[in-house]
A and B are shown apart, each in its own frame.
Chain A
């Protein structure tokens, strides 16, 4: 007999996602992913000035602020075919990269590591052995025995004081927890160090974006940072040098700690390379434009069908029709209606809510179901890394090979790139991508400095809105995957606006053909050791870095629990 498990909400951060699974014989045999809130920001934008859209879209979500701002200005620029000055591209690229490095570090250490790391087991670790293990894996200068002893002491004080705080939702002692105490202690030490390091990334966003968490410096047509080599109030040489200092510190941590920790966790959980592949159609977009028109990019992107990287098809510019014509959204299983219309292209997308209750075979989510040429597609760091690998991007190949070699050495068996099509593979790919991104931070910084040194201080091109209708799409390879904003402008005002966000691609309900979305497909076949504590469900869903664009979540004031797990 199958058992129904409902986890609601499943995220540790923003957004409200409910996952239902049917478990039979210790395995998931059916899955439903349901967005539990209504995303209607599109309606607020209708009738507004397209130049203001980005300030509103960056309020959609508290985690993904800058990415919605970037996608929005790109959409309007695409509609106007407006070029963006080189300095503005580089400054935007630096913000994109710093935000991304921040996001990837925080996701692994603070939002998902606790699915794999047993904090209470770390109390049994020998700190000196932990230090020698760590020093055998990496040259990081904070792996010494004094550091490990101090961390263990702090953790003991914290746990004994009954202040589990951030760790209260962990599944301590769960049979699926496999790391030895020393590795758990090492992970806790790096968890704390990551809390410090992530601030450096945020400081870069803050210097360039004028403010954080909501950046102030974007504009349709460029950025509002005046560049000067002498004035105090603008982007000066001094500030640029401070940024370089932060970049170097981030690079050290990402390459010598994050990439190695992920490989170590992967080696101890090698069985998780067999679970969680799900949808292996992978979609990504190129990003970090290197010219004013958006036809050359530092990072490639494109589409891989059915996991076959030899059949990679690139997306080459902001105007590429292979991208622009491939996207549609279905509402067959979503709480919206399109009348008798079939899936719609985002330019024609509608936002008419029609709520039913949760219907297993009918409507069950506030998310629409996007497809690429009629097929569901997985987006995110794994999709991006596989596409960059397929495109022959050398830095991606270098870091992916290094990570897989570390895993192979620790697991004492050859682990190849095919292992990435999995739950643990998504974590590995995110770390690989983070290493690529942190190198790009240094590259883009150099490009900006050299361009300023040539005497170019231009940062903005004035947009001009034509009479009549124009349409544009802005895409961005965000930390969680492909983000796109689609705008229809009529006589200088927004007529229609649709956001197709990464978590919509991944967390979507079934599509027009009743095919599962990536979360759902990746859950089917997962083992469930204890239905009362469905840690395995969390592992697979968290591997996507779930974040459903923020709206509202009111819990019962009498209910002390934020997370409810029902077993029916």
Chain B
């Protein structure tokens, strides 16, 4: 199995950086099993092509503007995933959607994708998450661990 957990977002725009903060927490608290790579992608695009090629499973953690209450968790899987990128719900979805489209053209797209997100409270200039969203980080971390465990790739706590 080749699996990537990808945290995306801009850490200088408050809750926009939640995906990256989840990755930081995962790197701090867990050891990943072989085959699972955890990546802080920030807002990058084509640089991710190599790491995202020929994956069995891609798990993306991101801020999602889905018209929900701030702090509400959102999960997208299966057919909902392409819609997520087409509609560009993510504040920085352009780079990632280009990578996925390129992967499709190369025939190297992920076999399965799940997006774990949270509706942001603030996208103002700040290097800190708002308290509402910061409080959700442990739940998002637990969801990532859960998704991996279900696929027989349980991370171990440090």
Contact = CB atoms under 8 A, between A and B. Distances in A.
Interface stretch (B5-13, B110-118, B141-149): B5-13
A40 B125 contact: yes
Interface stretch (B28-36, B96-104, B129-137): B96-104
B12 A44 contact: yes
A55 to B, nearest CB: 10
Contact of B12 (A56, A106, A212, A560): A56
Contact of A560 (B87, B92, B94, B105): B87
Interface string A33-48: 0000010110110000
B47 A202 contact: yes
Nearest to B16: A552
Nearest to A158: B105
A242 B106 CA distance: 25
A214 B40 contact: yes
A212 B94 contact: no
Size category, B interface: 35 or more
A192 B108 CA distance: 12
A562 B12 contact: no
Interface in A166-200: 166, 192, 195, 198-199
Interface in B51-72: 65-67
Given A13-B94, A166-B98, A550 B87 contact: no
B106 A203 contact: no
Contacts of A12: 94, 98
Contacts, number: 116
Interface string B77-93: 00000000011110110
Contacts of B44: 62-63, 65, 213-214
A366 to B, nearest CB: 13
A163 B82 CA distance: 11
Contacts of A11: 94
A231 interface: no
A61 B41 CA distance: 12
B87 A62 contact: no
Contact of B92 (A44, A60, A62): A62
Contacts of A553: 91-92, 94
Contacts of A550: 10, 43, 92
B89 A557 contact: yes
Interface in A471-510: none
A431 B98 CA distance: 23
Contact of B42 (A158, A198, A213): A213
B49 interface: yes
A24 B115 CA distance: 47
Interface string A297-336: 0000000000000000000000000000000000000000
Contact of B125 (A44, A61, A63, A554): A44
B45 interface: yes
A339 interface: no
Contacts of B48: 213
A14 B43 contact: yes
Given A106-B46, A195-B106, A554-B65, A43 B88 contact: no
Interface in A70-93: none
B138 interface: no
Contacts of A214: 40, 42, 44
Main secondary structure of the interface of A (DSSP, over half): loop
A166 B123 contact: no
Interface string A199-217: 1001101000000111000
Given A13-B98, A14-B45, A166-B105, A552 B91 contact: yes
A110 interface: yes
Contact of A44 (B65, B104, B107, B127): B127
Contacts of B89: 555, 557
A433 interface: no
A59 B10 contact: yes
Contacts of B95: 13-14, 62-63
Given A44-B127, A213-B47, A550-B10, A562 B88 contact: yes
Given A12-B94, A552-B13, A555-B87, A199 B50 contact: yes
B13 A551 contact: yes
Nearest to A106: B46
A69 to B, nearest CB: 12
Interface string A1-43: 0000000000111100000000000000000000000101101
Contact of B10 (A13, A165, A205, A552): A552
B11 A59 contact: yes
Contacts of A102: 46-47
B45 A59 contact: no
A198 B125 CA distance: 32
Contacts of B11: 59
Nearest to B53: A199
A198 B104 CA distance: 17
A196 to B, nearest CB: 8
6 contacts: A14-B43, A14-B45, A61-B43, A166-B104, A166-B105, A557-B67
Interface of B: 10-13, 16, 40-50, 65-67, 86-89, 91-92, 94-95, 98, 100-102, 104-107, 123, 125-127
